[in-house]
Amino acid sequence: MNLSDSLYIASSGLANINRGLAVVAQNVSNAGDPNYVEEVSPQTSATAGGIGMGVRTAPTVRALDAALQTAAFAQQSTASSLATTTASLQQIDAVQGTPGAGTDLGSLLGKLQDTFSTLATDPSSQAQQNAVIGAAATLAQQINALAGAYQTQQQGAQDGIVADVTTANQTLATIGGLNQQIIALKSAGESTADLENQRDASVAALGKLLDVRAIPQSNGAIQLVTTGGLTLPTQFTTPPLAVASATLGAGAYYPGGGIPPVTLGGVDVTQQITGGSIGANVTLRDTTLPTYRAGLDEFSESLSFRFEQQGLQLFSDSTGSIPFTASPPPVQGGYLGYSSTIQVDPGVTANPNAVRDGTGAIAGSPTGPSAFTPNPPGGPAGFTTLIQRVLTYALGSEAQAGVPQQAPNVAGLGASGTLSLPFTAPVTLGDFATNLVSSQAQDSAQATSEQSTANAVLTSLQAKNAATNGVSVDTEMSTMIQLQNAYAANARVMSGVQTMWNALLQAVQ
């Protein structure tokens, strides 16, 4: 080996070390970025005729465990979905109260029953009559508040979908642009590690919106596929995902009932979207919240109907009417949104004696309530017939002695007639109220528990991902020391070559 070969070997070593130091510096500067994957600079020995001729440095690549990263991204989508669901249901919890705590439907219905029981001991008491009306008003107001909460959360889910779809399209465009840059650099034999890290950050952001997987392509690009089998384009002129803005009313439903679909390339893919905040909001908007509201509408109609069939129209809508009622129970089309308008009947509010005397005669039926004649004006102040009918039948399990109450609908609910409550038809109004509140509280508790578990798994995966794919500052510092030592060794070689060249030149002279 001559002096020029030695000089070449040493200079190539110094160039390689400088490259390595630059990679270390970049790794350390990005150590806090959870989406940054450690970069390395591959090296190969150059030989000629079996003699070492220095070091060749390949383009920087990432030290990536792809399977671990994919698992972390998937869990992030799950955690995002549950966070969206939990946040919405906790807003419902805040309005409906804890079962049995005094402000929930069951407790308020119990308070109304208590006021009727107290009134039975002194039917002529104006104070007790007003107490009945007050308890009924509080119950109606709680029903209204719950209906408003359902509406607010459903509208929030719709608005969230619109905003997230816009963000998803922007993220897809970003990924598409990075794909093109990576393809170009890869074909030129240059490093694409930095761009791949940027692209992974965009994929992670997209995964919070919907469940998506990145499939590597041979040219360096990635293809995005959802768990529902949808391929998301990254090159487009018109945004691929779309959803219309809409104000949702009580009668809105999906599909075809005023709730707009999420489309991909103009094709309805709403039911194929899962995971992430979009998937969670679709479920909340189209199923969960409409079912809650349908159950509340059914409770409101049953409450009004059972009092009315005993001779007291205690509850009605803002016009003083009770929505369509029939036996057997009708589909909900006749009283959609009734829970938003139910109130104490204006006639009862104007005449508190009505809670003792009744508001209308009942003809009686062998399959329904028995006959009833209201207490006439000037009738007995101690009239208790109506009060006993309310306590025994309106709030009980029978329409009259030996005749079961008409069971409320628990299936075929909503404007589309496709929704079902998660329990069997309750016998009493108290059971209905308890079941409604308990089932919704259970949904919220389950979502909260699942979110906690999902977050724990995500934290574990992220920690493992950071340890495996991320940057260890200690390791980088150790590498830097090795590079510095190597730099000194190569510098000494170059200094020795320089000394030998000088000696040779002096000998020639």
Per-residue pLDDT reduced to its tens digit, 48-102: 555 555 556 557 767 667 888 889 889 999 999 999 999 999 999 999 987 777 8
pLDDT at 36: 77
pLDDT band (50, 70, 90) for residue 508: low
Buried-state track 64-82, b at ≥16 Cβ within 10 A, e below 16: beeeebbbbbbbbbbbbbb
Model pLDDT for residues 9-29, shown as the tens digit of each residue: 555 555 566 566 566 666 676
Percent of the chain scoring above 70 in pLDDT? 79
494 has pLDDT over 60: no
Mean pLDDT of 381-390: 97
59 and 96 assigned to the same domain: no
What whole-number distance in Å separates Cα of residue 133 and Cα of residue 128? Answer: 9
209-227 tens-digit pLDDT = 999 999 999 999 999 999 8
Residues 57 and 78 in one domain: no
Query: In this structure, is residue 312 part of a structural domain?
Result: yes
Residues 287 and 381 in one domain: yes
**One domain, residues 491 and 432:** no
Q: Report pLDDT for 443.
A: 95
User: Nearest-5° angle of CA 374, CA 376, CA 380?
Assistant: 100
SS3 annotation, 111-129: HHHHHHHHHHHCCCCHHHH
Residues 263 and 374 in one domain: yes
* Tens-digit pLDDT profile for residues 364-377: 999 999 999 999 99
Higher-confidence position of 237 and 12: 237
Residue 337's pLDDT is what?
92
- Reference 315, options 336, 353, 352, 341; nearest CA is 341
102 Ramachandran zone, left/alpha/beta (phi>0; psi -120 to 50): left
Residue 209 belongs to some domain of the structure: yes
64 vs 116, more confident:
116
334 pLDDT band (50/70/90 cuts)? confident
Query: Do 416 and 363 belong together in one domain?
Result: yes
Distances 56 to 11, 52, 53, 173 between C-alpha atoms, Å:
11, 11, 9, 36
Residues 131, 13: Cα–Cα separation, whole Å: 93
Q: Average pLDDT of 177-203?
A: 92
Give the pLDDT mean for 31-55: 61
Domain co-membership, 254 together with 295: yes
Residue 467: inside a domain, yes or no?
no
Q: Is the pLDDT of residue 394 over 80?
A: yes
Residues 147 and 58 in one domain: no
Residues 53 and 166 in one domain: no
The per-residue DSSP string of 270-325 comes to: GGG--SHHHHHHHHIIIIIHHHHHHHHHHHHHHHHHHHHTTT---EE-TTS-PPP-
Q: Count H helices and E strands in the chain, helices first.
A: 13, 14
Tell me whether residue 461 is in a domain.
no
Tokens 């009947």 sit on residue: 345
Residue 277 lies in a domain: yes
Q: Is the pLDDT of residue 8 over 70?
A: no
Q: Where in the sequence is the domain holding 344, given as residue range(s)?
A: 69-456
Q: Is 79 among the domain residues?
A: yes
Would the pLDDT of 291 be above 70? Answer: yes
What pLDDT is stored for residue 326 in this prediction? 56
**What is the rounded distance in angstroms from the CA atom of residue 431 to the CA atom of residue 226?**
42
Same domain, 436 and 501: no
User: How would you classify the pairing of strands 43-48 and 51-57?
Assistant: antiparallel
pLDDT of residue 41: 65
Same domain for 38 and 102, yes or no, is: no
pLDDT at 330 over 90: no
Counting every residue written for the chain, the total comes to 509
CB neighbour list of residue 118: distance below 8 Å, 6 or more residues apart? 128, 131
Same domain, 47 and 75: no
Residue 7 has pLDDT above 60, yes or no: no
In a domain, 442, yes or no: yes
Number of domain units in the chain: 2
Mean pLDDT along residues 141-167: 97
What mean pLDDT do residues 103-114 have? 95
Q: In this structure, is residue 466 part of a structural domain?
A: no
The Cβ-side half-sphere exposure at 71, using a 13 Å CA radius, reads 16
Residue appearing with tokens 């007003």: 130
Q: What is the pLDDT of residue 462?
A: 83
Phi, psi angles (nearest 5°) of residue 380:
-60, 130
